[in-house]
Amino acid sequence: MDGKDSWTRWLPSRRTSLLVLEHLIVFSCALALIHRASGQSPVLLYDTSLEEAFVQSCRQLGLCPLFGSPTNLSGFWQGGAWIYLRTFLDWLGLGPQGVHVLVQALDAAAITLIALCGSMLRGRSTGWAAALVAAGILLSSDIMIGGLHNSRFIFFPASLCTTLLVASSRTRSVLPLVLAAVTAAVVSNVHAACLPLVLSVALVASLRSRRRVLAAAAWGAGTLSVMFLLSPGMWSHQLASLFRPGGVLLQPSLGSMSGPGVFEIAAVLAAAVLVVAWTRGPVSGSRLPLLKTLLAVLLPGLVIYASAEMLVQVTRAERYSVYLVPAFSLALVAACAWLLERIAPLAGRIRTTGWMRQAISFLALAAALAWIVFHAQPKSGHDLRFRDMWEIKQYLHALGWSLEDQYRHVKSPRQHALVSSLMVYSPFESSGPDVGDEGRNVYVFKAAESRMPAALPDHWTASPRAEGMVMVTVLSPTWMDWSSFQVCREQEGGTHCRDSGLHLARRGYMDVMGPMPGLRGEGRARGASVQVRFSVRIPPGAREHVILFPEILYACRGRVASVPAGSTIADGGRQAHLVTGSDPVDGTLVLEWRPGSTDCPEYTFQGMVPFFIEAEPETAALMQSLLEGGL
C-alpha cells in the first residue's frame, strides 16, 4: 500500500513520523493527566509498607535482601530489582512520595514511547491513537494509578522493551534486541508476571534469523541468564520450590479458571485480526515484520497467563497485565486500521465531503479525550495517603502513644495499610512518653465534607483534603482487651482455639507487617467461620457502648456472636449494646466472620479483625452515617 491508503482519509493527520514537538506534547499531556489522577502523595497500601520495610531493613540495619515481596503463590517471591531501585533512590534522598512522582514521569515517558512505536508501525495517526488507548487503560485503574508498588513501576520498562523489539524489526543491528533482552530480564525481576517478555524476546529474535529454533533458544537462554544473575539466590529457591512435594506445579487446579475480562477479550480479538492480516493481507512488506513483532509480544502473555491461572492457581488481577498494555494498544490500533482498509471499498461508495470526514475524525478524537479526562479524576478519594499517615503520627505523638499503643488501638477501614505504615515509618521505639492507651481507640477515616456536622463533638478532629473530603480522627474509650484474646476457627472435628494478642515487642521487624497473630491463613476455606473472643470489663455507672459493623464497600463485614451477661445483640449481629450496671462486669465478647462468604469476600480478608466501631451510641451513629455515606 502506498502513502495514500484509502482508510487514511478518515483520519485527521498525515501518515508521517511524529515530530519532536508532538512527542513533547504527548509527554506533557500524559504527565498532567497522570499527576492529576495520582496526586502528589501515594495511597497507603500494605504492599508499599512491606517494600519500604525491605528498604529500611537494608538502609538502617544492613540486612539487604536479594529478593522482593512475596507473591500469591505459596513459597514464590518476586525478584529484587524493584527493592534495589527503591533502596538506591532512598539513599539519594527520594522517599515514597518522591518515587511516586518519579513513576508518574516514567509513565508519561512510556506513553510517549508507545506513540513513537505507533508512528513506526503505521504513521502519525497510529501513534496518537495508540497513546490515547494506553493512557485510557492506565488511568482507568484506581489501584494502579494511585498506589506505589512493584506492579506500578512495570509500565515503563515494559513499554521500553516493546519499543526496542519493534525497533529491532526495522534494522539489522542487534543492539535494540540486546537492550530489549536486558530490559526484559530486569522487569521480570521487578514482577514475575513479566516473565513472558523473555519468550517474546526469543520469538522476535527467531523472526530475524533463518535458523529460528536455534536463535530462539540462544536468545531465550541468554535473557534468562541475565535475569538469574540479578537475583541468583531467589531464582534458585523458586525453581526448587516449584517442584518440591506440595509445590504449585504439583498441585494443579484444573477447572478453577475464572472467565476472561474485557482486557483479555479485546487483546485476543486484536491478535486474531492481526493473524488474519498476516495470513490474508493486504500487508505491505515493510509492515509485516512489525505486525509479527506485535504478535510475538502479545500472544505469549495471553497464553501463559491463562494457563497459569488454570494450572497453578494464579489469581487474575489487572496489575498483572500492565506489561501487555503497550503491545495491546498498538495491536488494537493496527487491527482497527486493517479493518478500515478492508471496508474502504464500501466506504468509498458513500458520498462524503472533506468537512464531513474531518467532523467524524474530530468527534471520535473528542470522545476519546473526554473518556480519558473523565478517568483522570483524582482516584480513591476515601483512601488514606502518605500525607495523612504523617499527620496521624503527629496526632498520636501528641497523645503520648507508644508504638505498641498504636499497634493495638488505631482502627480504620484501611486497617492493614494504615497500621503497617505506622509501624514501618517509625523508629522501633516509643513515639513519645509511654503513658499507655488509657483504654482508648483512635478511629481514622475519610468522609465527604458535605456530610460533616457543623460542630464537631468532643475528641473529634477533621482535616480538609482535596475533592471535598476531610480526614477524620475520633478518640473513643474501649472496654476490650486487645493484648490478650483467643482466635477460634471451624475445622473438621469441631472448633479449634488458640491464645493470641497484640504485643509489638514479641514480633520481629518484618513480622509486624503481616496479619494479626493467629489470623494468618485463618478461614481461607470458603465459608469456614473465624471467631475472636475478647475479654471485656464494663465499668459501673458508665454510659453504654455500641459495637457496630458498618456496611462498607469492598470490606469484610463481621457480626457479634456473643456478649457479656446483661448486654444485647441487635440487627442480626451487626450491632450489640454493652450495658453497664452498679457493679463492674467482666465477660467475653465474641466477634465472628466467614471469609469467602457474601459478607466477607476472600479478597477483602487481610488477616485482620474486620473493621467495627466501639463507642457511645451518639458517636457510633455519627461514625456509621459518615462511613456508610461514602465508603
- pLDDT tens digits, 524-578: 455 678 889 999 888 887 888 999 999 887 788 889 999 888 889 988 889 999 8
Residue 67 has pLDDT above 60, yes or no: yes
| Residue type present at position 579 | V
What are the CB-based long-range contacts (under 8 Å, 24+) for 510-515? Answer: 510/53, 510/57, 512/407, 512/420, 512/423, 513/46, 513/49, 513/50, 513/53, 513/420, 513/423, 513/424, 514/607, 515/606, 515/607, 515/608
Q: Which residue has the higher pLDDT, 102 or 275?
A: 102
39: CB partners within 8 A, 6+ apart: 146, 378, 379, 385, 466
Tell me which amino acid residue 168 is: S
- Mean pLDDT of all residues in the chain? 77
More confident residue, 86 or 239: 86
Instruction: Locate 342 and state its grid cell.
Output: 478492508
Helix (H) or strand (E) holding 346: helix 325-348
Distance CA 325, CA 114 (A): 10
From 429, 465, 428, 426, select the one nearest 447 (Cα to Cα).
465
Beta bridge partners of residue 460, listed in sequence order: 474
State the pLDDT at residue 140.
Answer: 76
Is the distance from CB of 100 to CB of 42 less than 8 angstroms? Answer: yes
Q: Which three cell numbers stand for residue 568?
A: 444485647
Alpha carbon separation from 317 to 141, 197, 263 (Å, rounded): 11, 18, 11
State percent of the chain over pLDDT 70.
71
In tens, the pLDDT along 418-458 reads 888 888 877 544 444 445 556 889 999 988 888 888 888 88
The lowest-confidence range among 51-60, 111-120, 230-239, 499-508 is 499-508
pLDDT band at 411 (very low <50, low <70, confident <90, very high): very high
Q: How confident is the model at residue 181 (pLDDT cuts 50, 70, 90)?
A: very high
pTM for the whole structure: 0.81
486 has pLDDT over 50 = yes
Residue 139, number of CB atoms within 10 A of its CB? 25
For helices 20-38 and 354-375, the axis angle rounded to 10 degrees is: 40
pLDDT bin (cut points 50, 70, 90) of residue 317 is low
What integer is the mean pLDDT of 386-393?
89
**Residue 239 exposure: Cα atoms within 13 Å on the Cβ side:** 7
The SS3 of residue 110 is: helix
What local confidence, expressed as pLDDT, does residue 16 receive?
Answer: 46
Report how far apart the first and last C-alpha atoms of the chain are (Å, whole number): 55
* pLDDT, position 117: 84
If pLDDT is split at 50, 70 and 90, which confidence band does 159 have?
very high
Cα 118 from Cα 123, distance rounded (Å): 7
CB 314 within 8 A of CB 118: no
Neighbours of 28 (CB within 10 A): 12
What cell numbers appear for 442 in the block? 483512635
Share of the chain above pLDDT 90, in %: 14
Bridge partner list, 463: 471
Written as one letter, the residue type at 342 is: R
- pLDDT at residue 308, as a whole number: 58
